[in-house]
Structure 1
């Protein structure tokens, strides 16, 4: 028997009433579980939503992001509710910034309850400090028996606040793992290339780089970027220049994993996501055309599946929009144009993207596009 595709409900108002109406619509439409994506500008708080979320009769998961994507458009305000035609199991791993938290034991306890060969939609509070450690533990326990897609929720104000939807209410500083028993076809691309380096990360902790080649990190970065851009960091906002010059962590597969330097603290550089010490790193550069070519390639890889699509999920880095500006609409169009007809697509502009790139680990990417297509299983399509 065929599975009905997911149903998408969109509210452009960004009000609580608008979101609650969509949740009602999804339940009425026969949803077995609900994925919610909301824009940060809505200003949702636990006080406004928790009572309603706790009263929902079916599992709910999702997050609040800088922007969301529905019907081929990115929205800076509003909510998207996706009514899924099958039940999902939602788990949480708490204290995602606590230096002493042991994620391995927490995840091991979940593994017995999680059917193998499922997709794990992995959402994190994108401003938590130990996302990389959590993903290492997750992959160590669940490994290659699952498929993964997700990203970092939160706000471009970089103020940490409740940003994940659950049946217990809005939550913060945690990871949300949602098990969906459907296969996933995935594409991962970024379009950035090595420009300067290699540099050796001689000092770093969590998401902060202190020294490169035994020199203060910001001094090394500043000299390279100011010489190439003709701009001075002293003249404006750090990220206005830095968004065009991310870091790339060297990986065995010869590709790089992108790290966004977000702001500078003295001579330290604070990034989205962890940067390990004693690692090789490059400064990267990209042209808009290279990034847009990457969105074509990403969609082409993701659509290579014979099974009928149930839902397409897009995690696209918010800093790509800040870099591409008015051309970002082309990126979304490139992806929409490749999808099979009538495939529901929803997405977010995220603070970091999560996927298994086949590097025998689960990566937390920056400035990257991750497109996943949840499809019917061979049996349900038969």
Structure 2
């Protein structure tokens, strides 16, 4: 007979200092945490020289990332740190070189298969600015398939400049993936609220996360014509992302759903996105209204909360570009997610550069502009 786990505990620091983070880690350790999930805001400016020595001497498994903004229960923090003390042991693994065109991620994932038992929940964190995230996720799913459950997101900075952004017992890491195996079930909600607006178009040229041509024409020119005609604004008059945030791409899937891709910037008439866009693929330009996105957040929470066992933790990855789009109404989205949770169940989350989940036991997706909410629950053994 196993003792029932208590819910996870949140410890929050709003100073954004290394010392504030170190105090939270000590607090979690003193409270009996078996492993810790750390979320830090990019505005803290954390560097390896500030954190590595402390992280390397921390006595229990530590994982997490630096994100544009972070969430503790119903509060959104632009500066500060959150330490989530978990009442269960977590196994933390890394796959390196996430932008290397020659790296074999299937082989790397296969090496982990002997270490990770079936039916694990795999919290998968990536450097959100790496260039081969989709290839990594394909390799992971090919090895583990639907024998595991998945949730995660992309760490990094809205400056879009690569820098160390994943926290581990080895210190801060860059251009890698962090795979955390937890032996507790997960129930997911995945929603975005965007709809098809223009298209379909055919991606006639692309590499990694860059679209070069659409329908055999300049990718930016096709995109520019649609967006400027609908918005009444011109890209030459505004920052690219200020206009593009309202008009993401949607990759068509066989079931008719679309996976959202955020165009980040125009470089020589090529559009660079968060996450890969394959050549020879059908895409749409999407559009959304604030009310539709907020309705999606309510649906996401309702779906995730359809659990049979007591929840331990609510884990949220919500795309940073949703807050840039919803602006002052984004607090409504977080409230829609937080309010239905039981009072004793903490919500910890990140405003991420891309979101990771298994959408329907078919593949492991890297989403943009999407809400992924996971409820980690008790196992049957812990309830016995």
CA–CA distance in 1 between the matches of 2:228 and 2:23?
Answer: 50
Question: Which residue of the partner structure matches residue 227 of structure 1?
Answer: 229
Aligned to 2:53: 51
Q: Once the two structures are superposed, what CA deviation does each residue of 1:130-165 show, in whole Å capped at 9, x if it has no partner?
A: 000000000000110000000000000001000000
Could you tell me how far 1:88 is from its partner in structure 2?
Answer: 0.6
- Give the distance between the partners of 1:73 and 1:218, measured in 2 at CA: 37
Does residue 1:65 correspond to 2:76, yes or no? no
CA deviation after TM superposition for structure 1 residue 359, in Å? 5.4
> Secondary structure in 2 aligned to 1:4?
coil
Q: Which residue number in structure 1 is paired with residue 298 of structure 2?
A: 296
Between the aligned partners of 2:33 and 2:63, the Cα distance in structure 1 is 13
1:173-226 deviation line (CA, Å, top 9, x unaligned): 000000000000000000000000000000000000000000100000000000
CA distance in 2, matches of 1:381, 1:260: 42
TM-score of the superposed pair, with normalisation by structure 1: 0.99
* 1:2 positional shift: 1.7
* 1:164-179 equivalences in 2 (<5 Å): 164-179=166-181
**Residues paired across the two proteins, number:** 382
Contact persistence 1:67–1:77 (CA under 8 A): yes
Among residues 295, 310, 313, which one is paired with 1:311 in the alignment?
313
| Structure 1 residue ranges without an equivalent (≥5) | none
The residue aligned with 2:193 is 191
TM-score, normalised by the number of residues in structure 2: 0.99
Question: 1-side partners of 2:380 and 2:209: how far apart?
Answer: 41
Counterparts of residues 179-328 of structure 1 (less than 5 Å): 179-328=181-330
The alignment partner of 2:135 has SS state of helix
1:210-249 deviation per Cα after TM superposition (whole angstroms, max 9, x unaligned): 0000010000000000000000001010011100000000
Shift of 1:79: 0.2
1:78 is aligned, of 80, 84, 91, to 80
Instruction: Give unmatched runs, 5+ long, in structure 2.
Output: none
Q: 1:317, 1:350 within 8 Å by CA — same for their partners in 2? A: yes
1:155 matched to which residue of 2?
157
Return the offset for 1:254.
Answer: 1.0
Aligned partner of 2:345 in structure 1 is 343
Deviations 1:49-92 (A, max 9, x none): 10100101100000000000012011000000011011110000
1:377 paired residue among 364, 376, 379: 379
Counterpart Cα distance in 1 of 2:45 and 2:343: 34
Whether the aligned pair in 2 keeps the contact of 1:309 and 1:375 (CA below 8 Å) is: yes
1:208 and 1:269 in contact (8 A); partners too? yes
Residues 146 and 361 of structure 2 are in contact (CA less than 8 Å); yes or no, is this contact kept in structure 1?
A: no
